[in-house]
Amino acid sequence: MTIDDLEAVYEIECASFPHTSWNIESFLRELTANQFAYYFVIEKEGSVVGYCGMWLVIDQSQITTIAVSSEEQGQGYGHQLMQHAKAYAGKSAGILSLEVSVDNDRAMKLYEKEGFLYGGIRKDYYGQGKDAHVMWVKLDE
C-alpha cells in the first residue's frame, strides 16, 4: 500500500466498517510513522479491490485489518491477501493472530479455511457489548 492507494482504500474501508472505519490519517500514520506496520493492497486491472494490514514486532504478528470491496467479494481476493500475509509474517514470526467480531461469519469462514484456530473471546472489544474472537495460526506448518 502506498499513499497513492489511500483514497481507494478509504472507500473500501468506509463501506466495510461503517461504524468503526479508520480515517485516512490513521492509514497514513501506519504507512509513514509505524515501523512495525506492513500494509498491502490487491489490484484488479490496476484498481485496488482489497487490502490487508499487519503489525510485526520481532516474532509476533497480528492482522490489524483486511477488507475486499463488496463488489469483488467471494472471488478469492480475501484468500490471496491472507496467503500473502501468512507468507510475509512467516519470515520472522511463528504465529499470526487477529480479532474478529463474533457475528462476522464470512470473515471467520475465511480464517478457518486459512487454518486459524479459536483462541478465546475478548469481551466488549468493539464497545457496546460487541465481543471478538481471538484467532491464531501457526506459521511454520
Ligand X SMILES: CC(C)(COP(=O)(O)OP(=O)(O)OC[C@H]1O[C@@H](n2cnc3c(N)ncnc32)[C@H](O)[C@@H]1OP(=O)(O)O)[C@@H](O)C(=O)NCCC(=O)NCCS
Q: Is the dihedral of CA 112, 135, 82, 115 positive or negative?
A: negative
Q: Can residue 84 be called a binding residue for ligand X (CB under 6 A)? A: no
Instruction: Tell me whether residue 111 is one of the annotated catalytic residues.
Output: yes
- Nearer CB in complex with ligand X: 58/96: 96
Query: What single-letter DSSP state applies at residue 4?
Result: G
Where do the H-state alpha helices sit in the chain? Answer: 6-16, 24-33, 77-89, 105-113
Nearest to 64 by CA among 2, 114, 17: 17
- Nearer CB in complex with ligand X: 47/104: 104
Q: Can residue 76 be called a binding residue for ligand X (CB under 6 A)? A: yes
Residues 39, 51, 88, 111: which is the catalytic one? Answer: 111
Return the C-alpha cell found at 86: 501468512
Site string for ligand X, 29-68 (x = CB under 6 A): -------------------------------------xxx
Interacting residues with ligand X (CB under 6 A): 16, 66-68, 73-79, 100, 104, 106-107, 109-110, 113
